[in-house]
Structure 1
Amino acid sequence: MENLSKYDFVDKTQGTRYTSLIFRKKGNVCHVFLDIPSTISNSLVDGSLIFTFPKEFKPKTFNLKLIFSNPSGRTARTRYDANTGNLYILSKLDVTESMYLDTFYFLD
Structure 2
Amino acid sequence: MWSRKSLFGNARKLLILVVIILVNVVDQILGRNGAVTYATVLFKIANGGLSIIENLAKVDVLVPSNLANKLKHINEESSKSVTEELREEFNDKEEDK
TM norm structure 1: 0.23
TM-score if structure 2 supplies the norm length?
0.25
Structure with larger RCO (C-alpha < 8 A, sep 6+): 1
